[in-house]
Amino acid sequence: MTRQNNLKKQVERQARRMRQAEADKPTLMAQTIYIGTLGLLFVLPTVGGAYLGHWLDSQLAGYSTRWTISLILVGVMVGAINVYLFLRE
């Protein structure tokens, strides 16, 4: 009898876990927001670096893209670190 009771408890526990997993399944809207957040975490530092670099280059005499390119690369690295840290949580 105890073996049947143990089996019955295990099956009931697994069924509860499966129902809970189905209830906790993320919706399409939640997944869309999550991906959008990842995109912003990556794109905003890159665009910010591009604008700051362009502004710095415009302050210098002559034609230069040194700051723009450098700060775009820094923005890409910062964005990648942001995404990594966000996904790690």
- Whether residue 2 has pLDDT greater than 80: no
- Whether residue 6 has pLDDT greater than 70: yes
Other C-beta atoms closer than 10 Å to the C-beta of 45 total: 21
Where do the structural domains in the chain lie, given as residue ranges?
27-88
- What would the pLDDT profile of 18-59 be if each residue is shown by its tens digit? 888 887 777 888 889 989 999 999 999 999 999 999 999 999
Residue in the block written with tokens 């997944």? 31
Question: Helix axis angle, 66-88 relative to 28-59, nearest 10°?
Answer: 160
Local structure of residue 22 (DSSP, 8 states): H
**pLDDT score for 69:** 95
- Of the chain, the percentage scoring pLDDT greater than 90 comes to 55
Amino acid at 26: P
